[in-house]
Amino acid sequence: MSTKFVRRKKSGRLFKIALLGDGGVGKTALKERFLGKGFESSYLMTIGADFATYTTQINGEEVKLQIWDLAGQARFKEVRSAFYNGTLGALMVYDVTRKESAESMPAWCEELVKNAGENVNFVLVANKIDLRKADPTALTKKDGLKISKTLSTDTKKTIKYIETSAKDNLNVPQAFLDLATEIYQSLEKKK
């Protein structure tokens, strides 16, 4: 009786990323849309955290994204801190129709850096841009770029800004893949 050992193909890299932002800004909708599950007009509130995985290729290398959707309500702040360990990047999401969700981005940035470290990568995401036409008070692209610039100054990093609509699937894959590419490039620089 002989035993044959089969060498398994290296499975590539694992990037843990977090979806951050106030409750109701569309983090779950973005995640579900990215995973190909479509869009629903309402989702149950995330309690603590939820996660999913997605495998992609970056520079010909297999990369698995472990996507953590963290609850945005203030009452979950203490619970959230446990989920940051090992996070390499984050999509920091605000709703263009809720100015307060954009104003909270510096606090989210601070929480992320405090719990995941200064080397974490992140992308600022202005979500629900499909609602701008119906809401004359909605934040504009100029407003988003200003927030991105402020965060860039505060963190001494260049913070990429992207506008999305989970409903229309506008720039959703791009937001996730831009973040994954940034993580990949920063890890390559450290080699």
pLDDT tens, residue by residue, 26-74 = 999 999 999 988 656 544 445 456 778 999 999 999 999 999 988 765 6
Q: Is residue 90 part of a domain?
A: yes
Question: Can you tell me the mean pLDDT for 157-178?
Answer: 96
Q: Is residue 186 part of a domain?
A: yes
**3-class secondary-structure state, position 61:** strand
pLDDT for the residue 34: 95
- Per the prediction, the chain carries an average pLDDT of 87
pLDDT in tens, 94-104: 999 999 999 99
Q: Is residue 4 part of a domain?
A: no
| Rounded Cα–Cα distance for residues 111 and 6 (Å) | 44
Q: What are φ and ψ of residue 84, in 5° steps?
A: -80, -20
Give the strand pairing for 13-20 and 49-58: unpaired
Grade residue 133 by pLDDT with cuts at 50, 70 and 90: very high
User: Measuring CA to CA, which residue among 101, 103, 167 is closest to residue 133?
Assistant: 167
| Rounded Cα–Cα distance for residues 162 and 101 (Å) | 16
Would the pLDDT of 7 be above 80? no
Share of the chain above pLDDT 90, in %: 68
Q: Is residue 1 part of a domain?
A: no
Q: Is residue 121 part of a domain?
A: yes
The CATH number given to whatever domain includes residue 68 is 3.40.50.300
Q: Is residue 142 part of a domain?
A: yes
pLDDT for the residue 8: 45
Number of CB atoms found within 10 A of residue 3's CB: 4
User: Measuring CA to CA, which residue among 184, 159, 163, 185 is closest to residue 174?
Assistant: 163
Q: Is residue 7 part of a domain?
A: no
Q: What is the pTM of this model?
A: 0.86
Question: Can you tell me the mean pLDDT for 81-109?
Answer: 93
Give the strand pairing for 13-20 and 87-95: parallel
| Contact criterion met (CB below 8 Å) for 124 and 161 | yes
The length of the chain is: 191
**3-class secondary-structure state, position 54:** strand
The total domain count for the chain is 1
Q: Which domain holds residue 95?
A: 13-190
Would the pLDDT of 6 be above 60? no
pLDDT for the residue 41: 57
Q: Is residue 66 part of a domain?
A: yes
pLDDT for the residue 11: 58
